[in-house]
Structure 1
Amino acid sequence: MRAILKATLCLLGTVVLSQSPMSIVRAQQSTGKVYTVAERQPEFPGGKAALSRYLATNIKFPGSLMRQNANTGPVAAKFIVDVDGSVHDVRITTKPLTRENKKGMQEFMAAIVTAVEKMPRWRPGEVGGRPVAVFYTLPIEVNMQ
């Protein structure tokens, strides 16, 4: 009886695990292949200094977090820079939200998403001299000084 139960649990685990990657693969197939590392990484027009200026100008830090002197912790925007340099599929990662700063952090994350989605076209990443879509992670630092 235990052997049958173990076999059933193993089979269920295999079915569940095998279905998860398939849904990810299907999602990637609709947009084509997306690289995590490219021979030449995507670049914001004007380089890193221009990207920092763009973010500082376009991301407004919520007053509620500023009044609380809240520590946002590590925040990153993850997105795809497509073969034409357009940015899409923006996701924000952050530390778990507390009840006190939840509203302010949600406003902050929405501001980041809006700013990233409105970015000008990037120079796309390249592999073998050809433009490719690249999954890009952009850390966002908040300096309150």
Structure 2
Amino acid sequence: MTRYLLLPFAFVFHAALLTCEKSAPNVATNKATDTTGTIIEEIGTQAFEGEFYDNMPNAFDGELMMVPEDFVPIDVDTEPQFPGGQVALQKYINKYLEIPRAVRRLKVTGKVYTSFIISETGVIEEASIVKSLQYNCDQAALDLINHMPKWKPAVKDGIPVSVRHYLEIPFDYRDR
């Protein structure tokens, strides 16, 4: 009897893991695809006034991050900064990152790789997942980013500019 109860659970658990996987959007074509390449959604574009710079990556010390093939680094005079700097950003993550119950139950550990735009006014825009860990982790990471305070924007030639920023959000079911 126990054997029959475990098999459906294993199938449901495995199916849930498969549905959580979502590939990063294909920025070149403005389309998001599933793992088989089937287009699942059109990605809207947002108009920006002024110049837009894509700055990459800002992995935590000692960490490596995959750089997209189409990445072109842009020099800005001053990088965007979280209020209080990198130490304050880490404190913010530690204080406000919600570890979902499902993550604790499934004992998930790893990182969600995120991307977002820091506008010329310092407001966070277009937060997205670059590399998924698990659906609940992805949602918690996006929630954390979307509620961040205004950043000090990047500056190019004395003018604040919008830049794309990449950030790793660590998850460990044992935290908090």
Question: Which interval holds the TM-score relative to the shorter structure?
Answer: 0.5 to 0.7
Residue 31 (structure 1) aligns with: 48
1:20 positional shift:
3.3
Higher relative contact order (CA 8 A, sep 6+): 1
Structure with greater Cα Rg: 1
Matched, 1:142 2:171: yes
Q: Could you state the TM-score of these two structures normalised by the residue count of structure 2? A: 0.57
The separation in 2 between residues aligned to 1:62 and 1:20, in whole angstroms, is 33
Q: Give the Cα separation in 2 of the matches to 1:92 and 1:27.
A: 16
Q: How does 1:1-145 map to 2 (within 5 A)?
A: 20=29, 27=45, 30-32=47-49, 33-37=51-55, 38-72=76-110, 74-95=111-132, 105-143=134-172, 144=174
Supply the distance in 1 between the matched residues of 2:29 and 2:137 (Cα, whole angstroms): 31
Structure with the larger strand share? 2
Unaligned 5+ segments in structure 1 are 1-18, 98-104
Distance 1:85 1:79 in 2: 11
Q: Structure 2 stretches of 5 or more lacking a match?
A: 1-27, 31-43, 56-75
Percent of residue pairs bearing the same amino acid type: 26
Structure having the larger proportion of residues in helix: 1
How many aligned positions are there? 113
CA RMSD of aligned residues (A): 2.3
Which residue identity does 2:138 align to in structure 1?
M
2:137, 2:171 within 8 Å by CA — same for their partners in 1?
no
CA drift of 1:125 comes to 0.3
